[in-house]
A and B are shown apart, each in its own frame.
Chain A
Amino acid sequence: MSGSKPDILWSPHHPDRYVICDSELGLYRIGPSSGAEETTATLLAINSDTPYMKCVAWYPKHEPECLLAVGQANGRVVLTSLGQTHSSACKELVGKEFVPKHARQCNTLAWNPVDSNLLAAGLDKHRADFSVLIWDVSSRMALDSGASANEKLRLSLAEADSGSVVTKPLYELGQNDACLSLCWLLRDSKLLLAGMHRNLAIFDLRNTSQKTFVNTKAIQGVSVDPHFHDRVASYYEGQLAIWDLRKFEKPVLTLTEQPKPLTKVAWCPTRTGLLATLTRDTNIIRLYDMQHTPTPIGDETEPTIIERSVQPCDGQIGSFAWHPSSQNRMVVVSATNRVMTDFTVFERISLAWSSTSSLMWACGRHLYDCAEDSGGGEGSAERDIATKMRQRAGSGYGHDTVQLWRNHLLAGGDDPQLKSLVFLPMMVTHMKLCAEDLELKIQGNKQSLVYSGIKNIVKTSATESRRSWSGSEWQTDVPRFHSDERCLALRLCGWISRGSDIDVETFLRSLEQEGEWERAAAVALFNLDIRRAIQILNTGASTAKGELNLNVVAMALSGYSDEKVCLWREMCSSLRLQLNNSYLCIMFAFLTSEPGAYDGVLFESSVAVRDRVAFACMFLNDVQLPRYIDKLTNEMKGAGNLEGVLLTGLTNDGVDLMESYVDRTGDVQTASFCMLKGSPVDVLKDPRVQCWIENYRNLLDAWRFWHKRAEFDIHRGKLDPSSKPLAQVFVSCNFCGKSISYSGAAVPHQGRGFSQYGVGGSPTKSKVTSCPGCRKPLPRCALCLMNMGTPVSHCPGTGRSEEKVDLTRENKLAQFNNWFTWCHNCRHGGHAGHMLSWFRDHTECPVSACTCRCMQLDTTGNLLPADSS
């Protein structure tokens, strides 16, 4: 191989030895170096006896080890050895030469893996001579018997004397042709696959006059997959072809062509279906994972291929060789200076994520299952949103349209954000009622106001009134603001209830019942009733165990005085920050701040938005209030905080807010329900909203929550009539081509093509079995042989008793049983109920002599819904 690229061969039996051949042969031993992960190669021996090397093949048997056959540029094949203590068997063989009749380049060599004394050599073309010669290396015949005078003549005397030259091959194949690559087939050791000039040929040594061949350009580097003996790879320039010997007419697969010609192709001996390829002048090795995917439909399925590439070293790669036993390991030698890299191809990781949030991945021969940890106290907080949504969907979250507040409980009940949404439907209801009640003076679209939030409501001016502390002797008045809109806002915040009553006592009681003492106290205080606040705190301290703190706070509270400069005020404003309950904190902030400057209350982010808004509605003037509301709205939008819905309403602003909420949490479920429940139609048309809804539907489908999805669709159809799906299936009469739907004849009623059809007991029952257009009979059910349109329950033959019970019990099911159904493949069909019960026990079509496996063609038909209704 003068000046040509190096090649590597692993020893077939020593897992730590390989040979690199370029202009000479070098035997290396690879072993762990002093470093932890590294390996080093030690040069054991060099053999430079054979010039003009073209190809090398390693003797496949244990003994003699390290015997190499070298093919030379003039066609001679020489047996040689490297650095071994020669056994007698080896000594006998080493130095043997096999000389073809006419000199030409030897392109390839292949030892027979079973009859290891057979060595096949592929030569270039020479006129009438053969290009595939199979030598018997154990043959002891020299020149005495068969060699002609002519043959003697062309061999030098010295060679003839030594008796080590063989000129008569055991088999001669491929006359007048060139052989570029060879390999013995693993399925039968008598078969030899040869890449000839423009064709691939399989020679059978038992009958050498016959050959199987196929014309192709891809004749270089033929190699058999060691794991799949009928699979062969070969290439031509940049094109790689995969052949199946059982179907040899054409390649089963041709891989994408590479811009540079290929130089080596090798199947991985340790991994099934992994093929490595190398092109010229590159530093990457391309790998192809070939998998046989048994698909039930069709014969023309191709193996699926995954292509990837690895870069074992920086320099250009001269050649590579898979390790014979170590998994996915190869040694790579650089093109120029014999830099070797020991390299293990990392196994492709395939990952599958089920819709029920369990994860599975496979790497090499390992399979990992990763289930979400469902146990543990704080598990639910860390759970993936998909799991949460699935649980919520399973428990019917969002579906309860009557008692809206229950949704919060259905959702699991401990998400403060979702809790705040409880008020959303209430708010909408409120708004609708309030709009009627108050006959708002604001001119404009009443409908739009119904869905808008506080932000839009509190825009009108309010009257200022000064109100004094109730039940106390202080003189200072606190300015408070009133208007109908502010009142409405307070209602929306939940502080005051519907109607003319503007007392907060009801609200306070409900808070007390829920044990929210601090909040109740704060609300009482903001309503300027400090005694009530202190009373609440006292009750709280006595009820809640160990909440001594509340008494202390009550004490502190009772010390309030309206003097501007005093010790109490000073201490409270500094020490309040140490209180860990934010409501207690804002109480003191309120008391210690100047009228109109309530930043300590308004920007305390851990206080519920609706309380802060209510507070703002009471104490901020017409200039401050909109500014504060705008600021808070933007803050909520930026954070995606659902509490902000109170401010934005379900307007376009609300969609923005919801968008950042979905971006943050991925909770399309809540988003879909909110938008669907409370939004006007034009907001529902927003592509974002449609996207959430569609994604939620897809999720439900993926979880096989088909009934839930259907419920959702029904619900959606009620709230958003434009979303009703159009009819997807129409049944037309075979004779007249008109729709057989009765109502369809008159009014184009869409979407209910089936269910209206064939309901037993209807007045038109007698006509139901014929086409309403032309009165011709409808096709017959393949099972009961009645014309379609006949109710299932009336079929005497096939109707099971239990089915009848079902029918009488559940009318809806009976309707479905009457539906038309048919196989798209064989076109046979009948009543849905009959078909279902047939395919429960059978795989083939019920029509005799029809072998269609209808049910197997239905990929989803065999799945069961996860939410049994």
Chain B
Amino acid sequence: MELHILEHRLKVLSIEKEGIQLCTHGLIKLAFLASKTRCKFFSLTETPEDYTIIVDEEGFKEFPQSEHISVADASWLALNVVSGGGNASSSQPIGVTKIAKSVIAPLADHNISVFMLSTYQTDFILVRERDLPLVMHTLSSEFTLLRVVNGETVAVHNVGVTNGFVKPKLVPRPIIHPLSSPSNMFCVTSLDPDTLPSVATLLMDVMFYSGGSKEAGASVEESSHICFFSFSLIEGYVSLVMDEQTTRRFPNNVLFTSASGELWKMVRIGGQPLGFDECGIVAQISEPLATADIPAYYISTFKFDHALVPEENIHSVIEALRTEGSAP
């Protein structure tokens, strides 16, 4: 297996709902006018609390300074697992489940905090730039490490730091944060970037005016219906995560949903904002799923984490996670 360390240096920021109008210019430019910017990595996730933006340094220039915008202090690097070679087993689990044991658990064991972003195309594991030597040391045994430099992929030799790292204690990881499962169902989909202009107004409506009809976040919680939307444009690939209701607003054949009709339900992690320092959260969720061989997407936001699991598996997932949580 190959682990690609991508060259994007990423910033994670949160925009308050009230402050979104300050940023719409930049957001629209990054999302729909890719040719006008040199940004290669852009992701927007709307949750009831805020908008979480993951963007590279080029794109970060589009955002103003404002008290409505909080930026996570570190620079992040995106890791991407590529299963080189074509081992023909076709029914592989997708999403974080696949990499749970190989990447996420070892990182959690070494107390490295990760930030996950699953897209239609792949999973990105974001780690702090300063943690990179440790990450490489941790994963070098399992992976061929490749670093992307100026678009060319080059092999990285092991940095050779073996001393000074505490041998991790292999302890069971109980789930410590409260979980909730909203009732609505989600689609993970994509579309042809060429057709993006034709649905741009619709997407803008979904991105910026979703809260219009609904009241405050509290009522959303009560109706156990969550307002969640994610858009990413990474290296030319579009990925969308949206409410099943929302997909119906799109014209036929634009979204790549015709063939893969799977629907996903969400498990939301955290009662209090999780912060960036705590590690092991992704591992707590993904390991039980991997054990049960349930595919999952995982999207971290500024405050909370979100896992998407197939709708038919939601009960078994909740079951599994609850037992994990109450086990110790």
Binding site for B on A (CB under 8 A): 2-4, 51-52, 54, 73-76, 99-105, 124-130, 153-155, 172-178, 198-199, 203, 208-211, 215-217
Contact = CB atoms under 8 A, between A and B. Distances in A.
B259 A209 contact: no
B162 interface: no
Contacts of A51: 253
B294 to A, nearest CB: 14
Contacts of A125: 121-122, 237
Contacts of A102: 256, 259-260
B148 to A, nearest CB: 8
B165 to A, nearest CB: 30
Contact of A176 (B83, B259, B260): B83
Given A103-B189, A217-B152, 12 more contacts: A73-B253, A103-B257, A104-B120, A127-B121, A128-B94, A128-B98, A153-B261, A175-B83, A175-B86, A175-B87, A175-B92, A177-B82
B39 to A, nearest CB: 18
B191 to A, nearest CB: 8
A104 B86 contact: no
B85 interface: yes
Contacts of B81: 176
B95 to A, nearest CB: 7
B259 A99 contact: yes
A155 B259 CA distance: 6
Interface in B47-98: 81-83, 85-88, 90, 92-95, 98
B192 A73 contact: yes
B79 to A, nearest CB: 14
Nearest to B193: A105
B55 to A, nearest CB: 21
Contacts of B121: 104, 124-127, 178
Q: Which 4 A-B pairs have the closest CB atoms?
A: A103-B256, A73-B192, A154-B261, A103-B259
A101 B259 contact: yes
Nearest to B235: A197
Contacts of B86: 130, 172-175, 203, 208-209, 211
Contact of A211 (B82, B85, B88, B257): B85
B194 interface: yes
The listed residue with most A CB atoms (<10 A of its CB), out of B83, B85, B93, B256, is B256
Contacts of B195: 2, 73
Contacts of B85: 175, 209-211
Given A2-B194, A128-B92, A176 B152 contact: no
Contacts of A129: 94
A156 to B, nearest CB: 8
B259 A100 contact: yes
The listed residue with most B CB atoms (<10 A of its CB), out of A76, A99, A198, A211, is A198
A127 B194 CA distance: 21
Contacts of A153: 261
B190 interface: yes
Contacts of B262: 154
Contacts of B257: 103
22 contacts: A2-B194, A4-B194, A51-B253, A74-B253, A74-B259, A75-B256, A76-B259, A103-B190, A103-B257, A104-B190, A105-B192, A126-B120, A126-B121, A127-B123, A128-B98, A154-B258, A175-B83, A175-B86, A176-B122, A177-B82, A209-B85, A210-B85
Interface of B: 81-83, 85-88, 90, 92-95, 98, 120-123, 148, 151-154, 189-190, 192, 194-195, 237, 253, 256-262
Contacts of B120: 104, 126-127
A209 B88 contact: yes
B87 to A, nearest CB: 6
A27 B154 CA distance: 46
Contacts of A127: 94-95, 120-123
Contacts of B88: 172, 208-209
B82 A176 contact: yes
The listed residue with most B CB atoms (<10 A of its CB), out of A76, A128, A177, A208, is A128
A115 to B, nearest CB: 19
Contacts of B258: 74, 103, 154
A444 B175 CA distance: 118
Contacts of A175: 83, 85-87, 92
B120 to A, nearest CB: 7
A52 B259 contact: no
A183 B57 CA distance: 37
A181 to B, nearest CB: 15
Contact of A128 (B83, B148, B151, B194): B83
Nearest to B89: A175
A239 to B, nearest CB: 11
A190 B90 CA distance: 21
A177 B81 CA distance: 10
A658 B148 CA distance: 68
A751 to B, nearest CB: 57
Nearest to A129: B94
Given A175-B86, A209-B86, A52 B153 contact: no
Contacts of A178: 121
A607 B135 CA distance: 101
A105 B258 CA distance: 12
A128 B122 CA distance: 8
A198 B152 CA distance: 7
Contact of A209 (B87, B92, B95, B261): B87
A215 B260 contact: no
A3 B194 contact: yes
B256 A74 contact: yes
A105 B121 CA distance: 11
Contacts of A176: 81-83, 122
The listed residue with most A CB atoms (<10 A of its CB), out of B122, B194, B259, is B259
Contacts of A74: 253, 256, 258-259
A507 B213 CA distance: 126
Nearest to B191: A73
A574 to B, nearest CB: 89
A104 B256 contact: yes
A103 B98 contact: no
Contacts of A172: 86, 88, 90
A174 B190 CA distance: 20
Contacts of B194: 2-4, 73
Contacts of A174: 86
Given A128-B98, A172-B90, A209-B87, A215 B261 contact: no
The listed residue with most B CB atoms (<10 A of its CB), out of A51, A124, A129, A172, is A124
Contacts of A198: 148, 151-153
Contact of B151 (A76, A203, A211, A217): A217
A604 to B, nearest CB: 80
A154 B259 contact: yes
A209 B257 CA distance: 30
Nearest to A210: B85
The listed residue with most B CB atoms (<10 A of its CB), out of A101, A126, A199, A211, is A126
Contacts of B190: 103-104
Contacts of A215: 152-154
A76 B237 CA distance: 18
A75 B253 contact: no
A199 B83 CA distance: 14
B43 to A, nearest CB: 16
A129 B95 CA distance: 11
B233 to A, nearest CB: 14
A105 B259 CA distance: 12
A155 B257 CA distance: 11
A828 B195 CA distance: 73
A217 B257 CA distance: 30
Contacts of B90: 130, 172
The listed residue with most A CB atoms (<10 A of its CB), out of B83, B237, B262, is B237
A54 to B, nearest CB: 8
B185 to A, nearest CB: 15
B121 to A, nearest CB: 4
Contacts of A199: 153
Contacts of A54: 192
